Chain A
């Protein structure tokens, strides 16, 4: 895990202890088994306390559907180098996520590989 993804995950987890940054529990996300998801950007919302990405994702198991992912705060994503203009609607991007423990679609974004190949966090390829 490189510095960027470490910071994203760590601050969320700090929040689960009930301190000043306590946004919500991270228990529903499996940070030990992160996976990559590739899709087309439908929504990229940079907001506090958490951002929201919606990607149109296609896979053999469930076909094509829009999936909403939770992202870190606008402020922390910005500090890690992610900019709104790097995630335009229609771009095909890959995100690394901590998936939902219950197997449902969704998850918590720990890294982003933008359409032009810029990596933010611990992600080196779409695979």
Chain B
């Protein structure tokens, strides 16, 4: 597992040669999160969340919208997942691990593939960062990354209003994640993230939660096709000539 990219290493080594510091210190500055991760399990069985999962404190307007959503969907299959729609931030990040996620790290971009619903987040760095106005608002928004030592900071905006989530938010919400990798005494790599969401219209106060994952050595995520059965049924009817209404579907 590489620790830093070659250009970064050269730059750091050159700079440290001038400063007289050891290159060994610098090479641990930016860890590589590349790999597959699943929910953290402590020896005693504690899960990916450190304690009782925090819940956002909603404003009156947001609570009414959330209540209405729950009222009309309780006990039904009317959920984003049931319609093959991803959870969006922060659900995509906080829900990952039950199904694994894969992180692919490059200096200019970190790509996170959440297996569930095949959701993908792209975190841009430096010159890869798009202007906010050039990004179409969507459920996972626009994510911009930077490093503070060994900690990855990700700031996300350009979200859309969502009430179909455990973490309701408006399109004004902003999310800051802080990721740090450590190693357990048994050798397991552990990724810990602290997430804070602020929202001037939906939240009474910033919502903060911590989530942990553990590395899956040589792990792989699977494809998550969701509408394949419906397509195959239609294809059968088309081929057999029994899909009289296919043109209208």
| Chain A residues within CB distance 8 Å of chain B | 10-11, 14-15, 17-25, 27-28, 45, 47-49, 52, 73, 75-76, 78-79
Contacts and interface: CB of A to CB of B under 8 A. Distances in A.
Interface string B159-203: 000001110000000000000000000000000000000000000
B75 A25 contact: yes
A23 B79 contact: yes
Chain B contact residues, majority secondary structure: loop
A19 B76 contact: no
24 contacts: A10-B98, A11-B98, A17-B166, A18-B79, A18-B166, A19-B94, A19-B95, A19-B165, A20-B87, A20-B114, A21-B87, A22-B80, A22-B87, A22-B95, A23-B77, A24-B79, A25-B74, A27-B75, A48-B224, A48-B228, A49-B84, A49-B117, A52-B229, A75-B222
The size class of the interface chain B forms with chain A is 20 to 34
B112 to A, nearest CB: 12
A47 to B, nearest CB: 5
A110 to B, nearest CB: 16
Contact of B87 (A19, A24, A52, A79): A19
Contacts of A45: 229
Interface in B68-99: 74-82, 84, 86-87, 91-92, 94-96, 98-99
B102 interface: no
Given A11-B98, A28-B75, A18 B226 contact: no
B168 to A, nearest CB: 9
Nearest to A47: B229
A48 B225 contact: yes
